[in-house]
Amino acid sequence: MFIEQAFKAKTDWWRYLIGMIIVFIAWQIIGGLPLMAAIILEMGPEIFTMTESSDMMKVLQTLDSNVAFFLLLLMFAVGLGALLLVIRLLHQQPLVEATTSRKKVDWGRFFFGFGIIAVFTIVATIIDYNLRPEDFLWNFDLVPFLILAAIAVIMVPLQTSFEEYLFRGYLMQGLGIMAGNKWFPLIVTSVLFGSLHLWNPEVEKLGYVIMIYYIGTGLLLGIMTLMDEGLELALGFHFGNNLIGALLITADWTAFQTHSILKDVSEPTAGFDIIVPVLIVYPIFLFLMAKTYRWTNWKERLFGRVTRPESINYSEEI
């Protein structure tokens, strides 16, 4: 009932249009002002002549990586604040109903989602490091790393929560109500989530084939949300993926340049490394979650109709 409970809020189509405009302005314009100010102070007016994403990456690399990391994440934090206000004030929906179909947030699910990806990422990195030590440099520097860790622990959950509440919460519920089914919001939010990463330097480095990974990840998170009737697993999983990734390993061609423990200096290729997570690893994650939380009725939860439950009183005066 995760999508259906949004009927208790105000769900007029124009509210979603206005809400998305407000969120976009807060996220990309207001949230981006500190980063733009820092770049202008560093580079001067020539910044306005740069159009390629590779040029922008070079500009970001002129800033201290911890400063750039913080300012990038600050954009998402501002966006999250705006999104939560839109949900609460414009749609008059309690935050818990934008988070889960349960009466309260299940933090056990959050930490399960966090743990499953954190353990996998750490183990996979250790194995990769031992198989290909020549592809990694020891990048650890205590003081910058501790600053990075402090920034990451505070700011990364704001970044990942913004993306989850926007795509798997706000838009999943809104599109589900408008379309009257569950498969449409699942597909659309997955594609939109993948498209959000189009301007990442990884796309320029590896090509558009990496969009399989980004859209596949969006699909994974969307399936988690619909099958589990809430955002908790997706919130924890996304946070764990980005936090451990930021602290553990970096590379010159990735979106987040950090003072991580390791630096990957290998030449990346778009092929097997992209297909394996989507077609093999992700289904294993879903299998483990399904067994843990006893998911059933997959067809209905992923492809069923979205209708107004009779137990909900629908009123424009809510």
Give the pLDDT score at 161. Answer: 98
Q: What's the rounded Cα separation, in Å, for the pair 110 and 232?
A: 5
Quickly state the pLDDT bin for 50 (edges 50, 70, 90).
low
- Whether the Cβ atoms of residue 263 and residue 250 lie closer than 8 Å to each other: yes
Give the pLDDT score at 317. Answer: 35
Is the predicted pLDDT of residue 27 greater than 50, yes or no? yes
Is the predicted pLDDT of residue 37 greater than 50, yes or no? yes
Q: What's the rounded Cα separation, in Å, for the pair 235 and 161?
A: 6
- Whether the Cβ atoms of residue 228 and residue 168 lie closer than 8 Å to each other: no
Give residue 166's Cα distance to chain centre: 9
CA dihedral sign, ordered 56, 61, 67, 73: positive
| Mean pLDDT within 298-313 | 85
pLDDT per position as a tens digit, 81-119: 999 999 999 999 999 999 999 999 999 999 999 999 999
Per the model's pLDDT, the better-predicted residue between 260 and 317 turns out to be: 260
% of the chain with per-residue pLDDT over 90: 76
User: Is 90 exposed, middle or buried, given 0-12, 13-18 or 19+ CB atoms closer than 10 A?
Assistant: middle
Give the pLDDT score at 56. Answer: 61
- Whether the Cβ atoms of residue 201 and residue 253 lie closer than 8 Å to each other: yes
43 token code pair: 């580079």
Is the predicted pLDDT of residue 277 greater than 80, yes or no? yes
Give the pLDDT score at 314. Answer: 47
pLDDT per position as a tens digit, 188-210: 999 999 999 988 888 888 888 89
